Amino acid sequence: MIVVQDAEVREREVTLLSPTSFAAAGGDAVVVRGANGSGKSTLLRLVAGLRSPSSGTVSIDGRDAASRDPRTRRSVAAMIGMPPLAPDLTVRDHVLLVATTWSASGRDAERLTCRVLDELDLSPLATRFPHELSSGQTQLFGLALVLARPSDALVLDEPEQRLDVDRIGLVVGAVNRRRESGAAVVVATHSDVLEAGIGGRTLWLQGAA
Ligand SMILES: Nc1ncnc2c1ncn2[C@@H]1O[C@H](COP(=O)(O)OP(=O)(O)OP(=O)(O)O)[C@@H](O)[C@H]1O
């Protein structure tokens, strides 16, 4: 259960996020929308535990979202920008590395890697190196790294970036499968297609007053 209660973020005199509240239980999806600069990424960074609010609270299953507690860190998977990549590891190597870190066995990790690559139509690119991907393929690769680990809370910042409509459909399918498996999902987007496909509640951010 993600609970955001009156969370506000300020840096010196600047308001990055006006006071915002929402809750999302397992199986829920919250689609965060708003103009450029309205605070969507800032809100997602709070939920992902990458920073703490200046005031208000953000919790996951009753624990501070920014807690270093391994139970909290295990429960949140977030794609907010691209993670650093190793130039000499293939797409499959990267996904398997993440899956192996979190899986109970090597066989489970192999199975999960195949499933994630298949669901994002990345299997034909599995032996490519990161620099051999197009920008849209790189975006899907970033998503694969997040889907190859467990998550009670799945946090995605504009996962539709650089994707064609068919690939946005793949993202919708992958997100909804995690939701059906019981994850709470928070997605920031500028895409009507993604919003309609996920079909959760929409939270509109108005930006600083
Ligand atoms: N480190 C910072 N210091 C001061 N202001 C910042 C900082 N980081 C972001 N901001 C400001 O905070 C506001 C919210 O930024 P944020 O990235 O959360 O918006 P967003 O809704 O995700 O925008 P976009 O749709 O363009 O991705 C913006 O006005 C931005 O300029």
Report pLDDT digits (tens) over 155-202. Answer: 999 999 999 999 999 999 999 999 999 999 999 999 999 999 999 899
Q: Whose CA is nearest to atom 11 of ligand 1?
A: 16
CA distances from residue 85 to 27, 74, 105, 106, 131 in whole angstroms, order as listed: 31, 21, 24, 22, 10
Q: Whose CA is nearest to atom 12 of ligand 1?
A: 16
**pLDDT at residue 209, rounded to an integer:** 61
Structure tokens, 66 = 């920014």
For residues 15 and 17, what is the distance between their CA atoms, to the nearest angstrom?
Answer: 6
Structure tokens, 178 = 């995690």
Distance 42 CA to ligand 1 centre (A): 7
Pocket of ligand 1 (CB under 6 A): 11, 14, 16, 34, 36-42
Per DSSP, helices labelled H in the chain are: 40-47, 70-75, 91-102, 106-119, 135-147, 165-180, 192-198
Q: Whose CA is nearest to atom 26 of ligand 1?
A: 36
Burial of 52 (0-12, 13-18, 19+ CB in 10 A): middle
Q: Helix, strand, or coil here: 157?
A: strand
Q: Whose CA is nearest to atom 9 of ligand 1?
A: 16
For residues 209 and 153, what is the distance between their CA atoms, to the nearest angstrom?
Answer: 29
Structure tokens, 106 = 């090597």
Is residue 7 within 8 A of residue 58, CB to CB? The reply is yes
Provide the ipTM: 0.96
Q: Whose CA is nearest to atom 6 of ligand 1?
A: 16
**pLDDT at residue 93, rounded to an integer:** 98
pLDDT of 123-152, one tens digit each?
999 999 999 999 999 999 999 999 999 899
How many helical (H) and strand (E) elements, i.e. helices and strands, does the chain have? 7, 9
pLDDT of 43-81, one tens digit each?
999 999 999 999 999 999 999 999 999 999 999 999 999
Q: Which of 42, 47, 206 to mutate to test the pocket of ligand 1 (most atoms within 8 A of CB)?
A: 42
| Tokens 């793949």 found at | 170
Tell me which residue of 158, 163, 145 sits closest to 186, measured CA to CA.
158
Tell me which residue of 181, 207, 177, 175 sits closest to 31, measured CA to CA.
175
